[in-house]
């Protein structure tokens, strides 16, 4: 029997329940992207284990809790000691998968597989000097990763789209290290996301795996941005970790601004600073200026490329560097449709973001989960503003303590990774979630957490619009979360799920909130190459008609400050099963899964070319 606390009591109990979802991963190393690293990418052996025989004994007791030295456990990477020993697995004789990569697109037999797969790789490593340690860093693993090195469990991470790391200094050997990762992408009611999504549940080690050598006392974190209310004040902190924390000298250099600042850490290894700078080339889509940053301590040094810009709202306007901006956006999944696989590399990011720029965008909504770091770094360089979100999607288990803590962990990890990226202007905490008391408390707690972690960015969520019984053509937002967010963002599908395209011309929008209005989704499905009259569903003409009518309607919305139609590319989804049309693809893309542009693409491109 499962007992559920009432929603209000549930949130009052968080102060004493924060350990229930404790992850055994140490603090995340910030800017692992720019650290020298040994990549462990390549061909890894794998074993498909739907019954989790490598994890549980026949009494369904976990080996790593009941008998961690049992050689039947797959994480032991055992080989028979003699011809009589029974070992019922062998990684060396097992097939391989590429890491990074998802298993669905690499093996036809794994296309729909959801469950456990064990990954294994071996490597040699020159032992570090005594004054250095080694971190094992994962860009992401979907969904739950349990990691073992040389038979010892390092820990567990839950969440399919954010990075994590382990300290392996005391376990790593010079020869024949065996790294084993149990990956489980089983969808869960209590998971984030939950059971029901409208995208492909790609399983696997989907981003880079690295070994990073760092000093015993090292720069674990730092933040460097403009103060929220003063665009001539660079403000931030440096956080050290290790065995030398107190009164350590930290030197900050920004070469192009002739800044060289020295500060001392406190007893916790933290140093805060403020720098008044009269002249700064502010980062913007028109001029994506990035400064070369270097942070030095007596033991460590990191480099980064950081842009400075301000973002805030004033009434119904979004102001970038104090000037009103209209967000000409598009939504994106982290997927390369032509190869039907999870995107991960810099080339993938370049392809997706340059397609967005060719459409005329200055903004991308990265849906519905944190994308790989290459996307954010390249957006900085290309001058694309970014909306990032966590997969609090549709109806999750709002009253489950661990569900909330998982969502908060994912929010914390993506903010930790990307808080210094100028391109990121919006953190989104949810998409199309139903209004109820426990959900409102859940999301408001996430909003408070995001503001605590990063007060310099806007907070939003993709809400849903509502109508009125006495006037179905009058639309508004009655969600109480609208009072908590900075931007009034909502999804609407007039002409697709709500009437025919001409209905858009009859819609009147009315909002009580004096906030910028942003259409986070609209669109329609179309099969590339299917042509008919504008009222035939799934035709390119119908999709184009929906876009034309919606864009005319959007122009009349009071306070409209931007849009990110759904979506740039067709993408894989098991929910979409109409034979001959969908065949497992969501067809709302402006570009087909073969890279062919549909009629609606040119409708939106023309609109953006004329929009100032």
- Please give the Cα distance from 105 to 534 (Å, whole number): 35
- Please give the Cα distance from 383 to 421 (Å, whole number): 11
> DSSP class of residue 127?
P
Residue 482: closest CA among 440, 442, 425, 450? 440
Q: Which two tokens stand for residue 602?
A: 């040119």
**Residues 318-373: pLDDT tens digits?**
999 999 999 999 999 999 988 889 999 999 999 999 999 999 999 999 999 999 99
| Cα-Cα-Cα-Cα dihedral sign, residues 181, 185, 190, 194 | positive
Q: What is the pLDDT of residue 367?
A: 96
CA atoms within 13 A on the CB side of 493: 12
Domain 313-610 superfamily per CATH: Glycosidases (3.20.20.80)
Buried b (16+ CB within 10 A) or exposed e, 185-207: beebeebbbbeebbbbbbbbbbb
Buried b (16+ CB within 10 A) or exposed e, 100-124: bbbbbbbeeebeebeebbbbbbbee
In angstroms, the Cα distances linking 393 to 264, 362, 369, 404 are: 43, 25, 9, 13
Beta strand segments in 371-419, E = 385-389
Q: Where are the domains of the chain?
A: 21-214, 218-298, 313-610
Taking the CB of residue 443, how many other CB atoms lie within 10 A of it?
A: 24
Nearest 5°: phi and psi at 251?
-115, 125
Residue 142: closest CA among 108, 179, 103, 168? 103
**Residue 101's Cα: distance from chain center in Å?**
16
* Residue written as token pair 């490598």: 54
From 3.90.1170.50, 2.40.40.20, 2.40.30.10, 2.60.120.260, which CATH number describes the 21-214 domain? Answer: 2.60.120.260
In angstroms, the Cα distances linking 5 to 9, 12, 92, 374, 443 are: 6, 10, 49, 41, 17
Positions in the chain short of pLDDT 70: 1-24
Q: What is the pLDDT of residue 24?
A: 56
Q: Across the chain, how many H-helices and E-strands are there?
A: 9, 35
**Residues 539-574: pLDDT tens digits?**
999 999 999 999 999 999 999 999 999 999 999 999
Q: Is 303 helix (H, G, I), strand (E, B) or coil?
A: strand
**Residue 120's Cα: distance from chain center in Å?**
26
* CB 339, CB 571: distance < 8 Å: no
> DSSP class of residue 296?
E
Architecture of domain 218-298: Sandwich (2.60)
Q: What is the pLDDT of residue 4?
A: 39
Apex 376 CA angle, 256 and 390, nearest 5? 140
């Amino acid at each position: 029997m499962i007992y559920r606390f009432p929603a209000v009591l549930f949130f009052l109990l968080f102060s004493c329940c924060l350990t229930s979802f404790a992850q055994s991963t140490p603090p995340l190393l910030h800017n692992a992207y720019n650290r020298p690293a040994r990549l462990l990418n390549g061909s890894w052996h794998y074993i498909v284990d739907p019954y989790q025989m490598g994890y549980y004994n026949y009494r369904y007791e976990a080996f790593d809790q009941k008998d961690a030295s049992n050689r039947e456990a797959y994480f032991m990477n055992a080989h028979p000691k003699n011809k009589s020993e029974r070992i019922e697995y062998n990684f060396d004789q097992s097939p391989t998968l590429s890491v990074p990569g998802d298993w669905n697109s690499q093996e036809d037999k794994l296309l729909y597989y959801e469950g456990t797969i064990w990954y294994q790789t071996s490597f040699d490593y020159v032992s570090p000097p005594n004054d250095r340690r080694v971190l094992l860093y994962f860009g992401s693993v979907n969904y739950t990763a349990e990691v073992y090195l040389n038979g010892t469990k390092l820990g567990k991470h839950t969440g399919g789209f954010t990075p994590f790391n382990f300290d392996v200094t005391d376990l790593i050997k010079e020869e024949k290290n065996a790294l084993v990762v149990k990956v489980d992408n089983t969808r869960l009611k209590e998971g984030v996301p939950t059971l029901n999504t409208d995208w492909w549940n790609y399983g696997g080690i989907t981003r880079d795996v690295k070994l990073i050598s760092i000093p015993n006392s090292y720069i674990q974190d730092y933040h460097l941005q403009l103060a929220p209310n003063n665009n001539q004040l660079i403000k931030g902190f440096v956080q050290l970790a290790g065995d030398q924390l107190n009164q350590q000298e930290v030197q900050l250099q920004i070469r192009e601004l002739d800044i060289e600042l020295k500060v001392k850490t406190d007893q916790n290894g933290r140093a805060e600073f403020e720098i008044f700078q009269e002249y700064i080339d502010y980062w913007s889509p028109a001029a994506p200026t990035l400064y070369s940053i270097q942070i030095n301590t007596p033991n460590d040094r990191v480099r980064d490329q950081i842009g400075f810009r301000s973002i805030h709202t004033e009434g119904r306007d979004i102001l970038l560097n104090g000037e009103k901006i209209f967000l000409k956006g598009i939504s994106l999944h982290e997927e390369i449709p032509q190869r039907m696989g999870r995107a991960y590399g810099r080339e993938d990011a370049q392809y997706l973001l340059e397609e967005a720029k060719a459409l005329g965008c200055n903004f991308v909504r990265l849906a519905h989960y944190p994308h790989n770091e290459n996307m954010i770094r390249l957006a900085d360089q290309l001058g694309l503003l970014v909306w990032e979100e966590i997969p609090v999607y549709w109806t999750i288990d709002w009253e489950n303590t661990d569900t909330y803590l998982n969502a908060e962990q994912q929010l914390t990890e993506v903010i930790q990774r990307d808080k210094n990226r100028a391109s990121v202007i919006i953190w989104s905490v949810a998409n199309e979630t139903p209004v109820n008391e426990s959900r409102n408390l859940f999301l408001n707690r996430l909003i408070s957490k995001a503001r605590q972690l990063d007060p310099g960015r806007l907070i939003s969520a993709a809400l849903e619009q509502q109508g009125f019984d006495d006037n179905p053509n009058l639309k508004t937002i009655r969600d109480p979360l609208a009072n908590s967010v900075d931007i009034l963002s909502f999804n609407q599908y007039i002409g697709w799920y709500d009437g025919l395209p001409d209905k858009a011309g009859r819609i009147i929008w009315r909002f009580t909130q004096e906030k910028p209005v942003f259409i986070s989704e609209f669109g329609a499905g179309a099969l590339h190459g299917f042509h008919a009259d504008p009222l035939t569903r799934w035709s390119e003409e119908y999709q184009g008609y929906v876009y034309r009518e919606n864009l005319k309607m959007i122009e009349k919305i009071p306070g409209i400050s931007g849009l990110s139609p759904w979506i740039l590319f067709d993408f894989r989804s098991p929910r979409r099963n109409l034979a001959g049309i969908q065949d497992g693809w969501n067809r709302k893309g402006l570009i087909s899964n073969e890279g062919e542009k549909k009629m609606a693409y040119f409708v939106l491109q023309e609109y953006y070319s004329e929009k100032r």
